[in-house]
Amino acid sequence: ALTYRAGHHSTSDDSTKYRPVDEIEHWRKERDPVSRFRKWIDGKGWWTNAAESELRSEIRKK
């Protein structure tokens, strides 16, 4: 799987020194693997907003 480290390597690193801020934001907003997977399973009909709400509610109870 193709991934992208959106954050810095460490607290002393500033990745904006060697990567454009718009590149970082693009990957955070458009290429986030969790969001993309969520859209994909939703498109397949395998997941819904109702199912997510129910799951989150169950998790909060624990």
Q: Is 5 a catalytic residue?
A: yes
DSSP letter (8 states) at residue 7 = S
Cα dist from 8 to 15, 26, 37, whole Å: 5, 16, 24
DSSP letter (8 states) at residue 1 = -
Cα dist from 6 to 1, 19, 29, 54, 62, whole Å: 15, 10, 10, 30, 31
**Residue 19, number of CB atoms within 10 A of its CB:** 15
pLDDT attached to residue 38? 93
pLDDT attached to residue 56? 95
Active-site pick, 4, 8, 9, 26? 9
Q: pTM of this prediction?
A: 0.61
Active-site pick, 5, 28, 36, 56? 5
pLDDT tens per residue across all 62 residues of the chain: 777 888 888 989 999 999 999 998 998 888 888 889 999 999 999 999 999 999 999 999 98
Q: Is 18 a catalytic residue?
A: yes
